[in-house]
């Protein structure tokens, strides 16, 4: 679900979209920080919010950091 949100925001289609690593932070729901492989050696870090019921917000792309590598640490942003 967040793949389409990212593609719209960066105006680019990704053939590869593979989650490699993730972390969570509990807020008014759960915030996910996800390292995603989008090309051979290109990675993007995503910040995704999944809200609590009853709102039960669908996964929403809050922020992203393009131009990452596999070795870049996945930090909170």
Domain ranges across the chain: 1-68
Give the model's pLDDT for residue 53.
Answer: 76
| Cα–Cα distances in angstroms (integers) from residue 37 to residues 19, 54, 55, in the given order | 6, 32, 30
Q: What digits encode the pLDDT tens for the residues 8-58? A: 999 999 999 999 999 999 988 899 999 999 999 999 999 999 988 776 668
Give the model's pLDDT for residue 24.
Answer: 96
Q: What digits encode the pLDDT tens for the residues 58-67? A: 899 999 999 9
> What would the two tokens of residue 7 be?
């593609």
Q: What is the DSSP string of 48-65?
A: EEEEPTTT-PPPEEEEEE
Which residue's entry shows tokens 């919010």? Answer: 49
Give the model's pLDDT for residue 43.
Answer: 98
């Amino acid at each position: 679900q967040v793949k389409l949100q990212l593609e719209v925001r960066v105006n680019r289609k990704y053939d590869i979209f593979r989650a490699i690593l993730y972390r969570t932070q509990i807020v008014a729901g759960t915030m996910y920080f996800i390292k995603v492989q989008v090309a051979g050696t290109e990675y993007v870090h995503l910040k995704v919010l999944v809200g609590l019921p009853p709102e039960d917000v669908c996964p929403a792309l809050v922020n992203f950091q393009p131009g990452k590598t596999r070795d870049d640490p996945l930090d909170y942003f």
